[in-house]
């Protein structure tokens, strides 16, 4: 009578002498619990985590950059997406050291973004990297966005 084995359960009907058969699954509860556990994790993401995922899906062009070396190395950047959205972040680490003005980067999202973090403090949850064919891809997306707006 392990999980998922079919059992034939006999139930007596209200009239004497007649029997009904019902096919039962003893592992049905287990399967339902497994299904609920696997589908609730994406639904349980905080709004800030979904926002971080959305930001990581875009290409970003650096429109302003300021580097600070003391007390620890930090880069303050203003980023622009092809759709015109702007984002100000403070980035740290070795991957931020090589960034320059007009670079096109992608942001790799680190797990563990907490819901109460303001947008300006999301920088430590991203790893910047230069996007392959970044500038041509960014400008291509920007032009297609302009064409969409112009056609309205």
Report the share of the chain in percent with pLDDT over 70.
64
Q: Which CATH architecture has domain 47-151?
A: Beta Barrel (2.40)
Average pLDDT, the chain: 74
Q: Would the pTM of this model clear 0.85, i.e. be above it? A: no
pLDDT at 109: 81
How do the domains of the chain map onto residue ranges? 6-43, 47-151
Number of other residues whose CB lies within 10 A of the CB of residue 100: 8
Which residues are 6's β-sheet partners?
Answer: 25
* CB 59 within 8 Å of CB 82: yes
């Amino acid at each position: 009578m392990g999980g998922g084995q079919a059992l034939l359960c006999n139930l007596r009907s209200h009239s004497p002498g007649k029997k009904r058969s019902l096919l039962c699954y003893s592992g049905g509860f287990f399967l339902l619990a497994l299904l609920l556990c696997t589908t609730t994790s994406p639904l349980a993401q905080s709004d800030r985590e979904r926002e971080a995922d959305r930001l990581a899906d875009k290409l970003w062009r650096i429109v302003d950059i300021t580097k600070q070396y003391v007390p620890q190395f930090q880069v303050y950047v203003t980023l622009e997406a092809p759709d015109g959205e702007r984002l100000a972040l403070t980035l740290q680490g070795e991957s931020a050291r090589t960034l320059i003005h007009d670079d096109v980067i992608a942001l790799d999202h680190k797990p563990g973004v907490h819901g109460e973090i303001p947008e300006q403090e999301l920088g430590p949850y991203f790893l910047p990297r230069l996007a392959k064919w970044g500038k041509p891809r960014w400008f291509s997306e920007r032009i297609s966005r302009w064409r969409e707006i112009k056609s309205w």
